[in-house]
Amino acid sequence: MNDASFDDDLPAHATAEPGEVGLVEPHNFTSNEPFTCDDGHTLPHFTLRYETYGRLSPAGDNAVLICHALSGDHHCAGIHSLSDRKPGWWNNLIGPGKAVDTNHLFVVCANVLGGCQGSTGPLSPDPATGRPYGITFPAVTIRDMVRSQKRLLDHLGVRRLRCALGGSMGGMQALQWAIEYPDFCDKILAMATTAREGAQAIAFNEVGRQAILQDPGWNQGDYPPGGGPRVGLAIARMMAHITYLSDASMDRKFGRREVRAPAAARVGADTLAAPAAAFDVEFEVQSYLRYQGQSFINRFDANTYLYITRAIDRFDLAAAYGGTLEKAFAPVKADTVVVGFTSDWLFPPEQNREIVLALQRAGKNASYAELATDLGHDSFLLESPELYALVRSFLERG
């Protein structure tokens, strides 16, 4: 533990109401030992921003690591202040008496290496220049993210990980945990994920990246804080968000309902509207996507988006470990459950089943659950008593 330092003490959790973790604080872990990324570049030190909920057992063996998806971060439960409009992104799953029960479990969630919410990434200053890394930042991988998380857990005193749990990119990290640290990790719970990105998912990410790269504000990755390719990033987010939903859920939520058009567009039949007004928001779904894009650019960095989508695209366990998933899973000792969702067309159920079948062929203890839902890829984030029961049962069994 000599390679790391805290910025302050572990948080004392206040419970705002039964079932909630309540007020929480983010903390920074800094590893001062050099970290060599998979691309060969070495970071002289790195920081991970994280939050914890619950208490670590004296034996250090009751920890659950929450691994976040592309647009997520370390704040997965609780609130930072009483004025917060909404809690952490997986607050429905984590808390006293919830599926991930903080009465008994010590929950850790860290913003990934390469992130932009306090962890070292493209926004961080390069010690060699004092300027933000930008596109000189190492090409981080899912494995790099996991190896940096291991340093955090070691520093926190976690001697054994009860479970690594996540959806989408978080599920990729969970699978990588099982391979990278088989003697440290007891259970893996991966949801709405894949062992490698398919062509369609890579294609969606590429369109998003091109929206950023073709925005003049990107400026080869060199832009001021608060600036950069805001239009390109918003478009990338809008398109990606569509892939997280489903046709049925969008139709139910929006249908073809119209919003009130601006006055310039409400012209008489014999009058032509101004060109710009003719393409203004007409349907509720358009307004929703524009809101998603705008809110995203206020909290996310464009270079980070480029880096993390590239890490997702390059994730291919079979290619990385000898050519087959069975070879990739050879070291695994963790009890594994993979959950697919019937309406997920980004990482469809067959990709989730493929993981379990390969684990079973490799002689591992693995199970597959498929939940019927019409909510799309983001089903793992939404209210689901069936999912809660599955997660609770898996974490509680011996």
Contacts of 86 (CB under 8 A, 6+ apart): none
Contacts of 97 (CB under 8 A, 6+ apart): 18, 19, 103
Written as six digits, the tokens of 340 are 């697919």
Distance (Å, rounded) from C-alpha 196 to C-alpha 347?
A: 10
Burial of 196 (0-12, 13-18, 19+ CB in 10 A): buried
**Which residue numbers are catalytic?**
168, 344, 377
Distance (Å, rounded) from C-alpha 395 to C-alpha 62?
A: 10
Q: Residue 190 pairs with which residues in a beta bridge?
A: 166, 338
Contacts of 135 (CB under 8 A, 6+ apart): 122, 220, 221, 303, 306
Residue 338 in 3-state DSSP? strand
Sign of CA dihedral 167, 168, 169, 173: positive
Written as six digits, the tokens of 263 are 């006055």
Distance (Å, rounded) from C-alpha 372 to C-alpha 370?
A: 7
Q: What is the DSSP string of 26-69?
A: -EEEEE-S-EE-TTS-EES-EEEEEEEES---TTS--EEEEE--
Residue 160 in 3-state DSSP? coil
Letter for the amino acid at 387? L
Letter for the amino acid at 191? M
Summarize the chain as % helix, strand, coil (round to 5): 35, 20, 45
